[in-house]
Amino acid sequence: MTIELAVDCRNQLGEGPIWDVREQALYWVDIAGRELQRFDSASESVRRCLMPERVASFALRRSSGMVLALESGFAFFEPLTEEFRWIARPEATIGRNRFNDGKCDSSGRFWAGTMDDAGTEYTGSLYRLDADLTVHRMENGVGIPNSLAWSPDDRTFYFADTLDGRIYAYDYDAPSGAISQKRLFVSTSDPGSPDGSAIDSEGYLWNAEWDGWRVVRYAPDGSIDRVIPLPVQKPTSCAFGGPDLRTLYVTSARWDLAPSDLAAQPWAGGVLTMQVDVAGLPAARFAG
C-alpha cells in the first residue's frame, strides 16, 4: 500500500476529516490552530477559515454550510460567506471542559463529546444535537471522547474513550436516537490509544491510533482485520473520499513532539492518503 502526503499543512492537532461528495473536497480542522480547512481534490488547493475559538469537530448540513462543535458549544457556519451563529452552550458553567470529536448519524442528528481540557479527568459528556436544535446528554463520566461511528445497518453505535484506551459498542435505535447496552468492542495496548474512526461499506471500523503510528481495521466482532503502519506517530482520524470513496484520508498531529521527533517524521501534522480496496460510506448530513 502506497501512502502519500496529500496536504503538508503541519497542523498542531489536525482532526475530524469529512469528505463532501457534492464538492469532491475534504474538510478537517486544526483544533489548536482554531482553523477549519478545505482541500479541493481537483485543484489541490487549500482554504483555511479562522474560527472565533478552538473548533473540534463538525458535520455538513443537508441544506448548506455546516454545524460545528467548538470549544464552548454548537454553532452554524457558512464557509462561503463565513457567517457564524451560535446554537447552544450546554456546558457554559464547566470552564475546564471543551468539545472534542463529533459526527452526524444517518437520521441527521449531530453527536459530539466534551472532555477535560487537560485530558486527565472524567468530566466530559456525550451530547446529541437534534434537527430542532434541542440538546440531549447521552453519556457522562467521559474522559476523551472519540471514534463516533455507526454500523451500516444503523443497529450499532461505536464510541471511544481515549483516556480508557477502549472503543465501546452500543445498541442503537435509529428512529429515536437512543443508545443502550454499552459493551467493550476493543481495548488497545501501548503505545497507541484509539482516536477517530470511519466505517466502511462492509461494516468494518477503521481507527487511527494516537501515538500508535498506525490505522487499524476492525471486523464487526472486534477482531483485527488489518494494520496499516504510518510514517507519523500521532494519526488522529480518518475518512473515506474520492469519486468512489476508496481513498482513505488520515489526519495527524504535531502535538507535544520534540524537534528531533519532527525531524524524523516530516509529515507529522499533515493529511495522508492511500488507496484502499473497500469503499467507505458518504458522510451523513445534519438535518437542521
Between strands 46-50 and 214-218, the pairing is unpaired
Assess contact for 197 and 149: CB atoms under 8 A.
yes
- Residue range 91-102: mean pLDDT, rounded: 93
Assess contact for 109 and 130: CB atoms under 8 A.
yes
Q: Is residue 284 part of a domain?
A: no
For residue 239, the domain's CATH number is 2.120.10.30
Q: Is residue 288 part of a domain?
A: no
The tally of domains found in the chain comes to 1
Q: How far apart are CA 215 and CA 55, in angstroms?
A: 24
- pLDDT of 224 over the 90 cut: yes
Q: Is residue 281 part of a domain?
A: no
DSSP string, the chain: ---EEEE----SBEEEEEEETTTTEEEEEETTTTEEEEEETTT--EEEEE-SS-EEEEEEBSSSSEEEEESSSEEEEETTTTEEEEEE-TTTT-TTEEEEEEEE-TTS-EEEEEEETTS-S--EEEEEE-TT--EEEEEEEESSEEEEEE-TTS-EEEEEETTTTEEEEEEEETTTTEEEEEEEEEE--TT-EEEEEEEBTTSPEEEEEETTTEEEEE-TTS-EEEEEE-S-S-EEEEEEESTTS-EEEEEEB-TT--HHHHHH-TTTTSEEEEE-SS-B-PPP-B--
Residue 108's pLDDT is 98
115-129 burial code (b ≥16 CB/10 A, e <16)? bbbeeeeebbbbbbb
Residue 93's pLDDT is 84
What mean pLDDT value characterizes the chain?
Answer: 97
pTM for the full model? 0.97
Confidence of residue 237 (pLDDT cuts 50, 70, 90): very high
Neighbouring C-beta atoms of residue 48, cutoff 10 Å: 12
- Residue range 38-50: mean pLDDT, rounded: 95
Q: Is residue 287 part of a domain?
A: no
Active site residues: 195
Q: Is residue 92 part of a domain?
A: yes
**Range(s) of the domain holding residue 195:** 4-275
Q: Is residue 91 part of a domain?
A: yes
Q: Is residue 283 part of a domain?
A: no
Per cent of the chain over pLDDT 70 is 100
Q: Is residue 155 part of a domain?
A: yes
- pLDDT of 190 over the 90 cut: no
Assess contact for 249 and 271: CB atoms under 8 A.
yes
- pLDDT of 94 over the 90 cut: no
